[in-house]
Structure 1
Amino acid sequence: MKNTFKILAAFIMISGLWSCASEDNFMIAEPQANAFAILTPDSGSAVTITETTPADNTALTLTWEGVDYGTPTAVNYTVEFALNGTDFATPTVITTVPATRYAMTFADLDAKAKALVVTPDAPYNGDPIAIDVRIKSSIGTTASEEKYSEVTTVVVNSFIPTVPPVLEKRELYFVGPASSAGWNNNNDNMPMFRDANNDDLYVYTGKFVADQFKLLEKKGQWQPQWGISGGILAVNDGTGSDPDPFVASGNGYYTFTVDVANNTFDMTPFAGNTATTIPTIGIIGDGTAGGWDTDTDMTQSSFDPHVWKITATLVDGFMKFRANNDWPVNWGSGTATSGVGVQDGSNIPVTAGTYDIWFNDLDGRYLLIPQQ
């Protein structure tokens, strides 16, 4: 019996010692008390970005002290940006990494910086952007035991992108008594419709009076002037003699085509229906003043009721042509500035600017001519 009590007492003693040892070995992870430092860059450092700066080069390298949680554990670090002076009320998370270093390219820094100041109603104005930067450390899959670094400030001097100039395309305007303008070179002269896929090819289907006409590249100027010389298409660019006129052999509708690259032209009577006219045609879409809810009516030509025109200011977006303020008859196409609209075709992409917009309901051709 004495031996039994000795064994029991020894077991209780050993159990107690093991319990104490287990409590001594159990560690609670706690971050260091003080905020850890961002080592680079120095607070107040500036980064300048221009349109010619290589986008993929390194613009900013952040390094910081590692955080000691008092026990070996994997630590994650989250880089946060905020507009200077906002006290990180709505921080922007840039990335989360397991290391104490993170590098940003010029393109990424530029985009992240501008995102802090740009709103739908206020584009970037070119002012320097002061960014407060901090690092947040955490452990575990739930990102617990968060600890924040000291704050450093980086100033980004960025740029306002240069709007590329609209490349002026050649236009060809009718002049002469066979056309609506007569021999007036600045009389709202009707243009030919430039092909969407070939800038040297022009087509016009419409009414002609039995008489002569020529083509001008610029309204109000007699040269460059296109006509016929030796039976082929010819031009006086201002350094030579004016070519002979084209001739419409009779009153009626024709399809007139010129190819300025190959010096060819063709004039063929149009056999389609010209008797039926449309009461109204307008432009509609988020690129137009009325959006997708309201048509902006075009003006019907008094010379040819199948040709329509409007001078309109557009915004970036899309538009279509439609008849009688409704969708049963509408024209669209996926090509900008010129093309052939078809029934229920794609929305026409448009770029902000003021344009003379021409439309021909006989063949669906359209043309947008930028106005200075």
Structure 2
Amino acid sequence: MIYTDMKSNFMKTIFGVFAVLLVISSCKRDDIMVKSTDGTAPALTASANTLVLSSDNAASEAVAFNFNKASYGYSAAVLYTLQLDKEGNNFAAPKEYTIDASANTQKLTVGDLNNSLALMGYAAGRASGLEARIKSELRAGVGTLYSNVLKLTVTTYSVIIAYPSLYVPGAYQGWTPATAAKVASVADNGKYEGYVDFTAATDFNFKYTADTEWKLQYGWASSSNTGTTAEGTFAAGASGNLFVPSAGYYLLKADTKANTWNATKTTFGVVGDATPNGWDKDTNMTYDPATKQWKVTVNLTAGKIKFRANGAWVIQYGNKKTNPTNFLEFEGADIPVTVAGNYTIILDLSNPGNYMYSLNKN
């Protein structure tokens, strides 16, 4: 009786172990089949390798990327993605285009490609290296194969980029989000900034809203202010209004992750060794509400200039390092003046994230 029970238990154990091994073996086989990167990767070609883009033909085709399909040794549904990245970046942060499963080409218009490269930090008017490849996958991250890498040379043009933004409706413009000024998040990180003209306002209340229908709005939660600044916190859906302390031209900031906001009243001037007052004192500019621009006409010598607010270096702008063709960035590079003469200088801060200037020799 005891021997029989021992034998029975032993056989049950053997069968149990065998069943477990079968399951493990089956899982391993499935895993090998799914995760295998064995196969033939796509081969990629392009209709052109040197591209000079122009806004005059933004709707025209810039380039067509053609490829043959990957082969995994069996019939499978394959996902294809075109990847673009800066030369030498090893596709660390590529711009990706999902390709229709039935297609073996991806065409890009001049405008689409130019916008993508602008967001990637390509400098306008400068020939720069671009790399392209095709990624094939059985599903995301599984069975990944990469094509050969194509090297292209692309020259882009200046473009106004539509960054993620919030509307700033208020009493100054009739509380209409669709026609309100905006603040933008250049890094798309929930931190927004932009300039708003309250120079003609008598009611200084405003709000932030993510859309034109007031579906998501940010209202007052707390605040403190001086004669030229205001700051505090806001809350989504709150009924109270935010405000600036007095009439003027304001730099507005909003952080939708920290739920904070602030406003700084500004006037602008030009400073630098090319100006009559050098680096120590501003040549003041005048704001024109009709054009939404700051202007000054002044005699300049060969040298360098920058723009700054309120006669201090807290808010200052210079040439955008990655795109120096008349675009500005905070604490940017000195702006060169190569020829002495009488100039009309224009500073345009009306398009958040796309601050611009011009030096017009009279």
Fold shared, TM-score > 0.5 on shorter chain: no
- TM (normalized to structure 2)? 0.38
| Structure ranking higher in helix proportion | 2
Bigger Rg over Cα: 1
